[in-house]
Amino acid sequence: MSSKKILDLDTIVLNDEQNEVVIIDQTLLPNELKYLHLKTLNDFWDAIYHLKVRGAPAIGIAAAYGVYLGVKNSLANTYEKFYEEFTKAKEYLASSRPTAVNLFWALDRMEKVVVNNKNKELEGIKKLLKEEADKIKEEDIWVNKSIGEYGLSLLKPGWGILTHCNAGQLATAKYGTALAPIYLGHEKGYNFKVFADETRPLLQGARLTTYELLMAGIDVTLICDNMASIVMKNGWIQAVLVGCDRVAANGDTANKIGTSGVAILAHNYGIPFYVCAPTSTIDMNCKTGNEIPIEERKPEEVTEKWFNKRMAPEGVRVYNPAFDVTDAKFITAIITEYGIAHPPFEESLKKIFEIKQQKQKNKI
């Protein structure tokens, strides 16, 4: 394990002089801390699809830098040709993961820069694209810290907290979403006891969340996904914190497969279930979770990955959805950077966006 503290690690860094973005290859953790140098659009697509970079915010940041580098050295001599190249790059990166709304949100932000500055010189547009990608990364740091502060207001020192998948530093520019309250609480001496689901089949909890929390000096216990019920029944869990990839307007939430089951268990045992969601992951144009596309991944992730030998017979059918949707009725609150939304979410999420709009207006 690295001698660095987890919050000191840079997960996504643009090296503009070398025309590359440097990321941590999360597929090799926890055994090897290796940095990858992404230069081409194919590099970015591959890194996002194969989860070398993962987590909704981190995917958005990587895509923003990727589309910038994709057109930075464009030889187009007209705006129309440049925009055509940009659109191809954007659509290609957008095809890498269908569920995480941050991917499309970030790419749409980058497109607005191109469209809104069509009368500028092409070199000026390229400069603005780089500045916008930098903003997306910088904003993510503030967003996560704010989520951490709001989330911490719901927790008490000494609590046991269950988390699923990885929504920490590795999934964002800094702090994470679901782990942000834990990191801020640790700084204040809250002495949380964290239980991390392994999160089959890709083991993001086992490989990444425990890696982060151990590096930060936080009390963490790894459990298999099917052990969540017994640790709740034992009275060891006082709150559940999870991240998300997309929130529908009614509060239904798509997150890593298995999250829905954790929410149902928490509801059964009377444990608050909190979703930590940047407003960039909230899709008010998506009415319910039924409209959220669910990515299905290759069967090899279930039958072979992480095993020395194949662990299922050849020819068996495999269903491998990457996400599931947690019904809003099982969610206690949705924690955003602009406040905490409580049921009914149709109303409270609208208020969150009203607060966001007002605060952004006051900054101008």
Residue 117 has pLDDT above 90, yes or no: yes
What the block records as the tokens of 241 is 């914190």
What the block records as the tokens of 99 is 């569920």
**pLDDT tens digits, one per residue of 239-277:** 999 999 999 999 999 999 999 999 999 999 999 999 999
User: Binning pLDDT at 50, 70 and 90, where does residue 166 land?
Assistant: very high
pLDDT at 122: 96
Residue 120 has pLDDT above 80, yes or no: yes
Residue 334 has pLDDT above 80, yes or no: yes
More confident residue, 100 or 150: 150
> How large is the average pLDDT for residues 187-206?
97
**pLDDT tens digits, one per residue of 219-245:** 999 999 999 999 999 999 999 999 999
> How large is the average pLDDT for residues 148-174?
97
User: Binning pLDDT at 50, 70 and 90, where does residue 98 land?
Assistant: confident
pLDDT at 101: 82
- State how far the Cα of 40 lies from the Cα of 43, in Å rounded to an integer: 5
pLDDT at 6: 85
Active-site annotation holds for 108 = no
> How large is the average pLDDT for residues 281-285?
95
Multiple choice CATH, 6-144, 3.40.50.10490, 3.50.50.60, 1.20.120.420, 1.10.150.240: 1.20.120.420
List the alpha helices (DSSP H) in 73-187.
79-94, 101-116, 122-152, 180-187
pLDDT at 214: 96
Side-chain half-sphere CA neighbours of 344 within 13 A: 3
- State how far the Cα of 167 lies from the Cα of 240, in Å rounded to an integer: 13
Please determine whether the domains at 6-144 and 154-363 fall in the same fold group of CATH. no
User: Binning pLDDT at 50, 70 and 90, where does residue 4 land?
Assistant: low
Residues of the chain with pLDDT > 70, as a percent, come to 98
- State how far the Cα of 269 lies from the Cα of 258, in Å rounded to an integer: 17
- State how far the Cα of 173 lies from the Cα of 15, in Å rounded to an integer: 15
Residue 7 has pLDDT above 90, yes or no: no
**pLDDT tens digits, one per residue of 26-39:** 999 999 999 999 99
Residue 58 has pLDDT above 90, yes or no: yes
pLDDT at 99: 76
> How is domain 154-363 classified at the architecture level of CATH?
3-Layer(aba) Sandwich (3.40)
Report long-range pairs for 314-323 (Cβ below 8 Å, ≥24 apart): 320/201, 320/296, 321/257, 321/294, 321/295, 321/296, 321/297, 322/99, 322/256, 322/257, 322/294, 322/295, 322/296, 322/297, 323/99, 323/245, 323/254, 323/255, 323/256, 323/257, 323/259, 323/292, 323/294, 323/295
- State how far the Cα of 78 lies from the Cα of 38, in Å rounded to an integer: 27
Residue 3 has pLDDT above 80, yes or no: no
Catalytic residue among 43, 140, 225, 245: 245
pLDDT at 360: 87
pTM: 0.91
Q: Hey, where are the domains in the chain?
A: 6-144, 154-363
Residue 21 has pLDDT above 90, yes or no: yes
The average confidence (pLDDT) of the chain is: 95
What the block records as the tokens of 98 is 């269908």
Q: How many CB atoms lie within 10 A of CB 33?
A: 14
